[in-house]
Amino acid sequence: MNTIMKIIRKISVGRDYPNGSIHYQVGKEINLLGQMYTISSIMLEYVEGDKLGYNIYIESQEVGTMLWKTIIDMPIHIENDITFM
């Protein structure tokens, strides 16, 4: 799997930004079927062969890290992770 190296902090999906979008942010906790997970990373990767998509990975102590969602061909807004020194 090829990854384009860029650290993404938050991705917002939907046309009506910010109010009508769904927001996924690294570090945010989510409850899936009674199990707590944390969004561990958002990566711009090649999916479906040569298409670019945003893969959202989640993790928990019990399960480890796994791919949760892939976003392709949707309106998005990206917040990159930056560090000020």
pLDDT in tens, the chain (85 residues): 555 556 899 999 998 888 889 999 999 999 999 999 999 999 999 988 889 999 999 999 998 999 999 999 999 999 988 776 6
Distance CA 34, CA 22 (A): 21
Q: What is the pTM of this model?
A: 0.85
Going by C-alpha positions, the residue among 38, 55, 48 that lies closest to residue 4 is 55
Helix (H, G, I), strand (E, B) or coil at 43: strand
Q: 70 forms bridges with which residues in the sheet?
A: 55
